[in-house]
A and B are shown apart, each in its own frame.
Chain A
């Protein structure tokens, strides 16, 4: 299968940022450097041949034991051209931050909050980064692989 339009144009425009690409089962994927994520996303959104206007999903995966540990995964969809692409940016545990792409697509707002809540990845430049699905006094980030399934949390009382 020939590399799709998206991956070709990405490789042309950002040759240093792309670490690897693949199209497993037809899903175009590009692993990129986390520093350039905002530039790449803006390019993908605005370029005429690409026009990725939907930021469908933003999540993270914890590859415990691998360095860098986390991978922030972005799923984009272009309505005019009806194609999808996946971007992955590797984030290490020691420097657990990445730029927020809320300026590019506002739908990333709550998704980034959820990734922060579940994995502890800080999104720099996010307007209001706080927990979304869990309560304020929750300790830890549950979807990390070293968070035990049956961990108990301390009891909390009423907020005020």
Chain B
């Protein structure tokens, strides 16, 4: 056998899974060097969706950054909004009212639901299980309907403000949520029956993309991908923000770190997110939704129309931007993909001096070449799916 191999003039084939390819949703380029179907080397190229988020933030005011954060992880925009608002509030040193915190928790968890539903659906789609994809897309449509009731837009929500939220919950939100979640749970059961015990699906995702807990930590993994390796790190539990410490929810932990565990962790997190939203809707108190500090957040149009100091502050904050005291902070929230960190530097003026986002899927994409060495080219599909690389977040 070795003699035959020496005589065969075999070359490695370099294949380009270029930025526009059905599986690289998120515009990533993979340069795969193949020996037959086995990957010898995988080079990952990102940056096709780089829009200069940080530079744009530095040229606008602190409040004008919020629509840009929507477009970071565009599948779960409310989590980005909330993370940024919390970071600026930490920088200023203010705290929002209770009701606002509960509403933010509801918004974050609905976004997380949308993200996990999209990810599992895309995984099913790219492995050929088209029906599972459409079931979860239906569930996602219902969740987006809820988000639309909440903030007026399905995807680019632009809902959370520094010092509060844009508007209060609509009146029938609780009943609507109950109906939507009932249907989502039915669809969850359907997809569970279609995929979780499906031998074909399990063969594709089991033992593919395995990484040990320690190595994952060295690579900087966070979020569902890290929890699938058995490392119990969730920012909501480790360093609780908003009112997560009052919520009763579990964080699913995997065992092996392969794609199947990542899938199971996400499926379970869908259920837990629904639990959190229901608890938040039970516990939410009445009260104001914006902090009463007009120099950072205006209460309402009435307020601006009737109080002269509110009017002046409104004018100044819109024209010049709110002015946090000089300093720097770092705040992490649990994004759908992992730890979403905001590092803000303020020089006392109305524009951010530096607004840095720590993208969770940046490090996950970096680990792709390590995960894929020695595997078949068909394994790129489920692994890349389960990493959930969102172009907007990775490239900013």
Q: Which residues from chain A sit less than 8 Å from chain B, CB to CB?
A: 24-25, 27, 29, 53-57, 59, 61, 73, 75, 79, 82, 84, 86, 105-107, 109-111, 118, 131-135, 142-143, 147, 149
Contacts and interface: CB of A to CB of B under 8 A. Distances in A.
19 contacts: A24-B328, A25-B93, A53-B218, A56-B332, A57-B343, A57-B358, A59-B354, A61-B345, A75-B358, A82-B239, A86-B330, A105-B218, A105-B220, A107-B220, A107-B366, A133-B47, A133-B50, A133-B395, A142-B55
A135 B335 CA distance: 28
Contact of B220 (A24, A56, A133, A147): A56
Contacts of B46: 132-133
Contacts of A56: 220, 332, 339, 341, 358
Chain B interface residue number, banded: 35 or more
B238 interface: yes
A126 B48 CA distance: 23
B217 A53 contact: yes
Nearest to B365: A110
Interface of B: 46-47, 50, 52, 54-56, 59, 90-91, 93, 217-220, 222, 231, 233, 238-239, 327-330, 332, 339, 341, 343, 345, 353-354, 356, 358, 362-363, 366, 395-396
Nearest to A118: B54
Given A25-B91, A25-B329, A109-B366, 16 more contacts: A27-B329, A54-B217, A54-B222, A56-B339, A56-B358, A57-B330, A57-B356, A61-B345, A61-B354, A75-B341, A79-B217, A82-B239, A105-B218, A107-B366, A133-B46, A149-B59
Contacts of B220: 54-56, 105, 107
Contacts of B239: 82
Q: Is the interface of B mostly helix, strand, loop or mixed?
A: mixed
Contacts of B222: 54
Given A53-B217, A56-B339, A107-B218, A134 B345 contact: no
A79 B231 contact: yes
Given A56-B332, A106-B218, A149-B59, A25 B327 contact: yes
A39 B256 CA distance: 33
Give the interface centre of B233, B238, B330, B353 by most chain A CB atoms within 10 Å: B330
Contacts of A132: 46-47
A84 B218 contact: no
Contacts of A133: 46-47, 50, 395-396
Contacts of A25: 90-91, 93, 327, 329
Of all A-B residue pairs in the complex, the 4 with the closest CB atoms, nearest first, are A107-B220, A133-B47, A57-B358, A133-B50
Give the interface centre of A61, A82, A107, A149 by most chain B CB atoms within 10 Å: A107
Contacts of A24: 327-329
Contacts of B356: 57, 59
A134 B55 contact: no
Nearest to A84: B330
A82 B329 CA distance: 17
Contact of A143 (B55, B231, B238, B327): B55
A107 B343 contact: no
Nearest to A110: B366
Nearest to A22: B327
Contacts of A109: 366
A64 B363 CA distance: 29
Given A56-B339, A132-B47, A142 B52 contact: yes
A82 B343 contact: no
A126 B239 CA distance: 33
Give the interface centre of B56, B217, B222, B339 by most chain A CB atoms within 10 Å: B217
Given A54-B217, A54-B220, A59 B343 contact: yes
B65 to A, nearest CB: 15
B320 to A, nearest CB: 18
A97 to B, nearest CB: 21
A144 to B, nearest CB: 10
Contacts of A111: 362
B218 A135 contact: no
B162 to A, nearest CB: 15
Give the interface centre of B55, B233, B239 by most chain A CB atoms within 10 Å: B55
A119 B341 CA distance: 20
Contacts of B90: 25
B123 to A, nearest CB: 24
B391 to A, nearest CB: 11
Nearest to B394: A133
A140 to B, nearest CB: 12
B64 to A, nearest CB: 14
Contacts of B343: 57, 59, 73, 75
A26 to B, nearest CB: 8
Contacts of A143: 54-55
Contacts of B233: 79
Nearest to A147: B55
